[in-house]
Amino acid sequence: MTSPAPLRHREIFPVVGLDLERAGQVSTEVQRVLRRLGVEPEVVRRAGIVCFEGEMNIVLYTPGGRIILLVYDDRVELIFSDQGPGIPDVELARQPGYSTAPDWARELGFGSGMGIPNMEANSDRLEIRSRLGEGTVIRATFWRRRDEAQRGGGEAGP
């Protein structure tokens, strides 16, 4: 690892399970905080999308949890943790289209099995740790490429 970049901001957002009226609130708040801190718009957008997917997963499938936002000079991290049922097969859940969503989640426009694949697509790194019956922790990392032009899919050199 390179020398650690200083932590600029740390904030914890509680997420209430099954609260559909407020679902999405944390994501818009996270984007506001990131914008206020001057984080690059491209990172704000990706973090917002990943946060929304993670937040909806907590709301739809667990009694609740929390989202921790960490802002460093070189990266943004979002850590989602919940006390839900856990993901039986994490590798399967990473596959597009795999879903265990109940019908009512699908009727809300979610649960098509794109959540975790989309979190992967919009973050630079996605770590998932899950224990059946105990809960899930997901850490998403977004690298801040301030010096580079925002070229999608460009190779990140050393």
Using CB under 8 A, which of the segments 6-14, 65-73, 121-129, 131-139 binds other proteins? 121-129
| Beta bridge mates, 11 | 69
Cα 102 to chain center, whole Å? 21
Task: Kindly compute the dihedral angle of the four CA atoms of residues 95, 100, 103, 106, in this order, to the nearest 10 degrees.
Answer: -30
Verify binding: residue 17, other proteins, rule CB under 8 A: no
Query: CA torsion 89→91→92→94, rounded to 10°?
Result: 120
CB of 112 to other proteins, least distance (A): 4
| CA distances from residue 110 to 27, 80, 86 in whole angstroms, order as listed | 16, 18, 18
Radius of gyration of the CA atoms of the chain, in A: 16
**In the complex, minimum distance from the CB of residue 133 to other proteins, in angstroms, rounded to a whole number:** 26
Residue 77 binds to other proteins (criterion: CB under 8 A) = no
Task: Report the residue from 16, 79, 83, 141 that binds other proteins according to the rule CB under 8 A.
Answer: 141
Q: What angle do CA 70, 75, 80 make, to 5 degrees?
A: 40
> What would the two tokens of residue 26 be?
């944390």
Q: Which of residues 41-70 bind other proteins (CB under 8 A)?
A: 45, 48-49, 51-53, 56
Backbone phi and psi for residue 70, each to the nearest 5 degrees, phi listed first: -125, 125
Does the protein bind other proteins through residue 21 (CB under 8 A)? yes
Name which position in 33, 79, 121, 137 contacts other proteins (CB under 8 A): 121
Q: Which stretch binds other proteins (CB under 8 A): 9-17, 65-73, 80-88, 117-125?
A: 117-125
| Token pair of 23 as six digits | 């679902």
Q: Does 156 bind other proteins (CB under 8 A)?
A: yes
Question: What residue ranges bind other proteins (CB under 8 A)?
Answer: 20-21, 23-25, 27-28, 31, 45, 48-49, 51-53, 56, 96, 108-115, 117-118, 120-121, 124-125, 141, 143, 145, 153-158
